[in-house]
Amino acid sequence: MKLTLRIWRQSGATGRLVEYPMDDLSPDMSFLEALDVLNERLITSGQEPVAFDHDCREGICGMCGMMINGMAHGPEKATTACQLHLRHFRDGDVVTVEPWRAEPFPVVRDLVVDRSAFDRIVAAGGYISVPTGSAPDAHATPVPKPDADTAFEAAACIGCGACVAACPNGSAMLFTAAKATHLGVLPQGQPERYSRARDMVAEHDASGFGGCTNTGECTSACPKGIPLTTIARLNADLLRAHTTRSDR
């Protein structure tokens, strides 16, 4: 099949869209495989290939991510760019491909951005303090199945950054709330629940992510379907953190 790819190329402070007509694609290819085909062509003709992040190509590592026709990870719901297949495009389509656009995610090159702000948010409190060796037997604390399921759904976040890229405010509240919910609904996560919410949100704000105004763009772009209710939960914990004593 044929597609025209318009791809953002950037190697310094600024970049531009460059058009690449492709006529040797197959509907069974993934979107990243189409970029592979393009890159092979660019290399053999002496040009620099398009830089893009990827690793697992199974929708789980969170490494890939790009705006495809203005949509984070492209048009398919609950699908990362690496799992998007060309059968979802029409023969002859023009497809625009750009990096995540958000101030806290500076472009490194072409479609590659720097997402280290996410690691800093987790480092600020997105964990349970339990040094190796200090754990009680796994069955010491039963966890009601619904709570375990809620924790799991939130824990499914892959840290890709699509929520930020989709948000008109460049907010990372969905990412932050997913972690706060994962740990905050489990009994093991209770002791640090409120300080965790407070510290992660403080880091979120310090990194330059915008505030949440509940537009919901994040959850529709999220490849793992992290629900907006996680943000409500985080906000409630945050309120509690500011009104109760949580030393640390």
Q: Name the site residues for ligand SF4 (rule: CB under 6 A).
A: 157-163, 174-175, 178, 222-224, 226
Q: Which amino acid is at 187?
A: P
Does the footprint of other proteins cover residue 190 (CB under 8 A)?
A: no
CA separation (Å) from 108 to 64, 74, 105, 180?
A: 14, 21, 9, 29
Residues 6+ apart with CB under 8 A from 96: 6, 7, 17, 67, 68, 69, 70
Shortest approach of ligand SF4 to residue 111 CB, angstroms? 16
- Interface pick for ligand FES out of 59, 126, 161, 210 (rule CB under 6 A): 59
Does the footprint of ligand FES cover residue 56 (CB under 6 A)?
A: yes
Considering beta carbons, is residue 218 or 234 the nearer one to ligand FES?
Answer: 218
Shortest approach of other proteins to residue 181 CB, angstroms? 11
Does the footprint of other proteins cover residue 127 (CB under 8 A)?
A: yes
Dist CA 110 CA 92 (whole Å): 24
Considering beta carbons, is residue 12 or 168 the nearer one to other proteins?
Answer: 12
Is 13 within 8 Å of 108 (Cβ atoms)? no
Select from ligand FES, ligand SF4, other proteins, none the partner in contact with residue 214, using the beta carbon and a kind-dependent cut-off of 5 to 8 Å: none
Select from other proteins, ligand FES, ligand SF4, none the partner in contact with residue 64, using the beta carbon and a kind-dependent cut-off of 5 to 8 Å: ligand FES
- Interface pick for other proteins out of 38, 68, 164, 186 (rule CB under 8 A): 186
Other CB atoms within 10 Å distance of the CB of residue 208: 13
Other CB atoms within 10 Å distance of the CB of residue 233: 19
